Amino acid sequence: MKYPQLYEQFNQWAKIPVEQWTIFEEKLAERSVSKGEYLLQAGDKALEFGIILNGIFRLYYTDKKGKEQIKAFRRDGELLGPYAEILLRIPSRTYIQAMENSRVVLINNDDFLPLYEKHSCWLTMGRLVAEKHFLAKEQREFEFLQLNVMERYKKFCEEHGPLIGKIPQHQIASYLGITPVALSRVLSKSRKK
C-alpha cells in the first residue's frame, strides 16, 4: 500500500476493502507543486481532483478587472479540485495555487467514475464527499449572510487558525469578503478587547 495514511482517512468515511483501495491507488498520480505554482488555472480543462498530502492551496476567481476573490483555502488531508467544473464538464473557472511547497495525489474523474460500478464503497464515498462539499458551501453562505465581519473573522480563526501567519492578510480579507483596510480595523478592534 503506497498511501496508508490516506487509506485510513478514506476508511473513516467509508469502509473500503483493501483490494478496492489497490485499484484506486493505481489510478493516482502524485505531484509536487512549488510555492506560487498553479495546479490549475481558469480556462484549463477541469479533469482531475485530489487530496493534499501536505501543503496549503488557495482557490480563487478573478473578476473582469483581474481582482481576486478567494473561494477557499485547503491544507493537509483535504480534498482539492474544481468540483462544479468537473461535474459540468466545462473549463475551470477556478485558480488553484500552492501557497507553500506542497504534494498532492490526483485522479482523473473519468478514471474514478467507473469505480462506482465496481464496489458500493465508492458510491458511499462519492455521496459522503458530495455531502461534505455541500455542507461546507452551506456554512460559507450562512456566514456571509448572517454573520458580521468580526464574527466571520473569528470563525476563520477557529477553522483556519494554523494558516494565520502563513497567508497574507489581503488574502484573508478577500476570503472574508472585505477590503484589507476593513480587516485592519477588525484586527485593531479585536486587539483592544
Nearest to 73 by CA among 184, 185, 176: 176
The band of 162, judged by pLDDT with boundaries at 50, 70 and 90, is confident
Least confident interval from 23-37, 49-63, 163-177? 163-177
Q: What is the pLDDT of residues 96-148, one digit of tens each?
A: 999 999 999 999 999 999 999 999 999 999 999 999 999 999 999 999 999 99
- The answer, yes or no, to whether residue 17 has pLDDT greater than 90, is yes
Task: List the end-to-end C-alpha distance of the chain, in Å, as a whole number.
Answer: 51
Of the pLDDT bands very low, low, confident and very high (cuts 50, 70, 90), residue 161 is confident
pLDDT above 70: residue 57 = yes
pTM: 0.90
pLDDT at 69: 95
Percent of the chain with pLDDT over 70: 99
| C-alpha distances in Å from residue 14, one per residue of 7, 26, 77, 130, 131 | 10, 19, 16, 13, 13
- Pairwise CA distance, residues 72 & 175, whole Å: 7
pLDDT of residue 158: 92
What value does the mean pLDDT of the chain take? 93
Higher pLDDT, 30 or 192: 30
CA–CA separation, 130 and 13 (whole Å):
12
d(CA 176, CA 162): 17
Q: Are 165 and 50 in contact (CB under 8 A)?
A: no
**CA–CA distance, 55 with 66 (Å, rounded to integer):** 26
Res 27: pLDDT = 95
Q: What is the spatial distance between Cα 96 and Cα 36, in angstroms, rounded to a whole number? A: 10
Tell me the domain boundaries of the chain: 4-139, 147-193
Residue 193: per-residue pLDDT: 63
**Residue 189 has what pLDDT?**
79
Architecture of the domain delimited by 4-139 = Sandwich (2.60)
Confidence of residue 190 (pLDDT cuts 50, 70, 90): confident
Q: Which of 1, 3, 20 is nearest to 116 (CA)?
A: 20
